[in-house]
């Protein structure tokens, strides 16, 4: 080794030692490792101070995009039926606690029953694919979905969000399939990615945000799959959004309204969803996808 190389090596060794002393003195939260060739030091991905910093935001985003895929694959989940709806709608037995939304309590009962039926349909093995009910994991309609799946002795997928004044997860979620996100946009991605059907129960800004996002993706051709969309509660949705007015003003086309249907009871919703899924995601679809992938690879 040349003198200059030796000096560089000695300098690095001293610097490693200094960093080691600084880390020990600062009480950093990382796990330290030592090899015969280098001093004790902190791995970047194990340094919690760094991982929680603004500089590591892209890594946290990446984690929220990739960890759900890892866990969902472990459970063999690729298809979901997503429910959206207000966190403020009470269960029928709790209407006294939320008198301002008591009139909407029937939607909690309907969401719970629809979730129970769809979960039972899957558990009975009537489809070759496994369509899991999915919600945001909070109270209201989201709780009703988790509760309905539990009523059927089944599981549900939950994509919760960490926000003030609202629990991220309700008591009925399936622990192994419950995710809590920090970033809304990564949560939105996972709601849409595995969804084969989406049903919107009455809701406020959050529900309408999800609805408009999905409809925009369909309108702009960014959804490359068949996606069934139901709006549950015709009177409610027509009273809060004048879809026809958007057509009259020319800001959307009449064809844009074809991407969703209105339903008003559990029986109708169940039939529409099951029929859509059986027609568009039956056993032959898997073979078609494999053939299509092979053809694309040949191109």
| Residue ranges covered by each domain of the chain | 77-283
At residue 128, the pLDDT reads 79
At residue 165, the pLDDT reads 82
Whole-angstrom Cα distance, residue 127 to residue 78? 14
pLDDT surpasses 50 at 88: yes
Closest CA to 212 of 243, 184, 239: 243
pLDDT in tens, 218-255: 999 999 999 999 999 999 999 999 999 999 999 999 99
At residue 42, the pLDDT reads 82
At residue 4, the pLDDT reads 46
Mean pLDDT (whole number) for 266-272:
98
At residue 293, the pLDDT reads 38
**Residues 6 or more apart from 175 whose CB is under 8 A from it?**
none
Mean pLDDT (whole number) for 107-111:
98
Residue ranges of the alpha helices (H) in the chain? 3-26, 48-51, 57-74, 105-123, 141-151, 184-193, 205-219, 234-240, 243-248, 266-280, 283-298
Whole-angstrom Cα distance, residue 226 to residue 278? 12
Q: Which DSSP symbol is given to 30?
A: P
At residue 282, the pLDDT reads 77
pLDDT surpasses 80 at 14: no
pLDDT band at 40 (very low <50, low <70, confident <90, very high): low
27-41, 140-154, 155-169: which is most confident = 140-154
Whole-angstrom Cα distance, residue 199 to residue 114? 10
Is CATH 3.40.50.450 the classification given to domain 77-283?
Answer: yes
Q: Is 80 helix (H, G, I), strand (E, B) or coil?
A: strand
pTM beyond cutoff 0.75: yes
């Amino acid at each position: 080794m040349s003198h200059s190389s030796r000096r560089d090596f000695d300098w690095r060794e001293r610097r490693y030692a200094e960093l080691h002393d600084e880390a020990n003195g600062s009480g950093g939260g990382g796990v330290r490792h030592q090899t015969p060739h280098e001093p004790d030091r902190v791995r970047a991905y194990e340094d919690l101070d760094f991982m929680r910093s603004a500089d590591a935001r892209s890594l946290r985003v990446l984690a929220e995009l990739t960890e759900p895929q890892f866990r969902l694959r472990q459970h063999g989940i690729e298809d979901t039926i997503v429910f959206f709806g207000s966190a403020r709608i009470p269960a029928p037995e709790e209407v006294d606690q939320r008198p301002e939304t008591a009139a909407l309590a029937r939607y909690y009962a309907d969401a719970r029953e629809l979730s129970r039926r769809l979960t039972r349909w899957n558990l009975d093995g009537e489809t070759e694919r496994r369509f899991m009910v999915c919600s945001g994991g909070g109270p209201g309609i989201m709780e009703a979905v988790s509760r309905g799946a539990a009523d059927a002795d089944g599981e549900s997928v939950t994509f919760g969000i960490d926000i003030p004044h609202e629990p991220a997860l309700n008591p009925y979620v399936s622990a192994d399939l419950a995710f809590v996100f920090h970033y809304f946009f990564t949560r939105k991605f996972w709601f849409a990615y595995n969804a084969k059907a989406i049903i919107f129960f009455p809701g406020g800004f959050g529900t309408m945000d999800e609805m408009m996002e999905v409809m925009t993706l369909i309108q702009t051709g960014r959804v490359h799959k068949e996606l069934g969309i139901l709006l549950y509660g015709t009177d409610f949705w027509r009273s809060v959004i004048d879809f026809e007015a958007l057509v009259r003003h020319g800001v959307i086309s009449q064809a844009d309204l074809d991407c969703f249907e209105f339903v008003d009871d559990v029986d109708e919703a169940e039939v529409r969803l099951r029929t859509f899924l059986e027609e568009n995601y039956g056993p032959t679809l898997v073979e078609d996808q494999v053939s299509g992938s092979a053809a694309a690879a040949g191109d």
